[in-house]
Chains A and B, each alone.
Chain A
Amino acid sequence: MKFKGKSFIAIVLTPQIPSEEWFAEIDRIMTRSPGFFIDRPIILDVKGTKVHIDDLEGILEGLNQRSIRVMGIDGIAGTRLKPGMPPSFGGGRLTTDVDVPGPGGDATAAPKAAKVARVTPAAGEAAAAGDPETDDLDDDTNGDARSIVITEPVRSGQSVVHPTGDVTIIGSVSSGAEVIAGGSIHVYGALRGRALAGVSGDEQARIFCTKLDAELVSINGLYQIADDFGADVLNASAQIRFENETLVFERLG
Chain B
Amino acid sequence: MEQRIIEIGESFTKELNIVKNSKDLENIRIKFLGRNGLLSQLFEDFKSLPKEEKPKFGQTLNVLKNDLQNNFDIKLNEVSASEKSEKSFIDFTLPGKTKSKGSKHILIQTLDEIKNIFKGLGFSVATGPELESDYNNFEALNFPADHPARDMQDTFFVNPDFLLRTHTSPVQIRTMQKYAPPIRIIIPGKVYRNEAVSMKSYCLFHQVEGLYVDKDVTFAELKGTLVSFAKQLYGNDIQYRFRASFFPFTEPSAEMDIWWQPSGKEGRWLEILGCGMVDPNVLKNVGIDPEVYSGYAFGMGVERMAMRKYGINDIRNYFDNDKRFLEQF
A binds B: no
State the A residues within 8 Å of B (CB): none
